[in-house]
Structure 1
Amino acid sequence: MDDPDAAAMLRTVCAGRTWGAAVAGGRPYATVGELLDASDAAMTGLTAADLAEAMAAHPPIGRPAPGDAASAREQSGVRDAERAELLELNLAYQERHGHVFLICATGRTGEEMLAALRERIHHDADTEREIVRTELGKINRIRLTRLVETLSGPAGPGGRRAAMASGATSVSTHILDTSIGRPAVGVVVELAVRSGPGAEWAAHADSLTDADGRCTDLPALPEGTTHARLRFETGPYLTHAFFPEVAVAFAVEPGEHYHVPLLLTPFGYSVYRGS
């Protein structure tokens, strides 16, 4: 992909030119995780002017711009009854801070965003700038995830069915954020394998949870695999992560499919074999 094409595509994720140039300039990325790491690194270097440029493309919470499907999807947790107060507080926030109230709305309810807005409106400029940097980084990760899914083409149960039909051993997962009752979107998941209890772990694949919190595109396990391990990079997803990562190892049998969901909160998690 040429640089102009990459830059144009990245502008659908974030309007900040400095961020886009940094991410485009780091290509190629061997894994999705590397792409998200590059996005995070680019965020840390943005100046106040860079952040302002990126924020200018974001509509107020509660009033997505016409035709802005990404913002409308991300703000789907806002109820009609909450929009008037959100817009009123948005105006007060903007008058105080000089820019729109920015928050990663994916997975948040309108009441949660109202609570954050009531708190953040009183912050000083430096404190609020760093919160905006963090929230914008989360938004960019989620939008990059969706962009990668779009460019990669449709993935899903078909890959799982093909693996099962061929007799291969396969793994899938999904993450439910039980603190908000919604899927965890844009979490990096790494799959490793080994052949025998004493063998070294070998990286096999990585993926990103989709809009439903699922990873359905993990490839079949190599022949001879006896154990698989899923590592969930939960730190960037959770605002205050007590567990920055979750690693789950389990035994596998040839020809079986293993669906291993993760139920996640900021201070705990559980896993199980699903179906």
Structure 2
Amino acid sequence: MDLQDFNALGVAEAATAVRPCVDIDRFVDAVVTGRPYADLETLLATARAHAATWTPAEVSAALADHPRIGERPAGDDASAALSRSEQGGVTGLSDDELQARIAAGNRAYEERFDRIFLIRAAGRSATEILHQLEQRLANDPDHELAVTAGELAEIAVLRLRGLVTEGVGAR
């Protein structure tokens, strides 16, 4: 939808539109109540600013809405559809060894940090994602939580950028 249409939505409709970007109530509320936005960059800057304030509990709760890297997201809601699109280069791997290494890395990550490994998959190859996964296993828990929050913020802003466009829609 274009920015004018987003600005004109009712509060409930705007919240429903924004929630698949990231399921954090405070973020959704801030983006929705910040309307009207003069331009797309102001909207995205607002989203980035609010993402920087997420608590560890908010990040952990939001991870429940994300599938493991390399696994096909279940469901047919907007968030699952976005994840399928973002992970397109990872879920369709034909290299059995690479798939096995990502699956093993996911298990090791979950054992070490007690949460799923999250990375912005859009624009990254499976090899790059595996490399990041293996590197991040060496992080201490506090640093890794900050990295995870940053990746979640990147995903949220990319999804918001895909949801709202600068152009003017038909009236």
Where on the TM-score scale, by shorter chain, does this alignment land: which range? 0.7 to 0.9
Deviation at 1:117, TM superposition (A): 0.3
Greater RCO between the two (CA within 8 Å, min separation 6)?
A: 2
- Asked whether 1:75 is paired with 2:83, we answer no
Give the counterpart letter for 2:62 in structure 1: A
Pair 69,153 (structure 1): closer, same or farther in 2 beyond 3 Å: farther
- In the alignment, does 2:33 pair up with 1:20? no
Distance of 2:82 and 2:167 partners within structure 1: 16
Higher gyration radius (CA): 1
* Alpha-carbon distance in 2 for matches of 1:57, 1:124: 24
1:36-62 per-position Cα deviation (integer Å, ceiling 9, x unaligned):
101111111110001112111110000
Q: Structure 1, unaligned stretches of length 5 or more?
A: 155-275
Contact 1:63 1:83 in 2 (8 A): no
Secondary structure, counterpart of 1:85 in structure 2: helix
Shift of 1:27: 1.3
Decide which of 2, 10, 34 is 2:18's aligned counterpart: 10
Residues 1:64 and 2:76 aligned together: no
Identify which of 106, 109, 115 aligns with 1:93. Answer: 109
Among candidates 139, 147, 153, match of residue 123 of structure 1: 139
Q: 3-state SS of the aligned residue for 1:77?
A: helix
Per-residue CA deviation, residues 63-109 of structure 1 (Å, 9 max, x unaligned), is 03134221121112222323232122112101211111111111100
* Distance in 2 of aligned mates of 1:63 and 1:133: 21
Q: What is the one-letter code of the residue matched to 2:71?
A: R
Question: Could you tell me which amino acid in structure 1 is paired with residue 118 of structure 2?
Answer: L
Native 8 Å contact 1:62 1:86 kept in 2 = yes
CA distance in 2, matches of 1:120, 1:64: 22
Partner of 1:137: 153
- Asked if 2 retains the 8 angstrom alpha-carbon contact of 1:93 and 1:101, the reply is yes
TM-score, normalised by the number of residues in structure 1? 0.53
Gaps of 5+ in 2: 1-8
Higher helix share: 2
1:148 corresponds to which letter in structure 2? V
Residues 1:80 and 1:151: Cα distance change in structure 2 (over 3 Å): farther
1 CA distance for matches of 2:99 and 2:166? 31
> Over aligned residues, Cα RMSD in angstroms?
1.9
Distance 1:151 1:83 in 2: 40
In structure 1, C-alpha distance between the alignment counterparts of 2:89 and 2:168, rounded to whole Å: 28
Q: Following the alignment from structure 2 to structure 1, what is the Cα–Cα distance between the partners of residues 118 and 164?
A: 24
> Residues 133 and 152 of structure 1: is their aligned pair in 2 closer, same or farther, counting only changes over 3 Å?
farther
Instruction: Tell me the distance in 2 between the aligned counterparts of 1:150 and 1:11.
Output: 20
8 Å CA contact 1:102–1:132 kept in 2: the answer is: yes
User: 2:99 and 2:88 mapped to 1: Cα distance?
Assistant: 11
Contact conserved, 2:39 with 2:166, CA < 8 A, in 1?
Answer: no
Is residue 13–residue 143 contact of structure 1 (8 Å, CA) maintained in 2? yes
Residue 62 of structure 1 contacts residue 75 of structure 1 at CA under 8 Å; is this kept in 2?
Answer: yes
TM (norm. structure 2) is: 0.83
> CA separation in 1, counterparts of 2:168 and 2:156?
18
Aligned amino acid, residue 49 of structure 2: A
Count of residue pairs the alignment pairs up? 154
Q: Deviations over 1:206-253 (max 9, x none)?
A: xxxxxxxxxxxxxxxxxxxxxxxxxxxxxxxxxxxxxxxxxxxxxxxx
Larger proportion of strand: 1
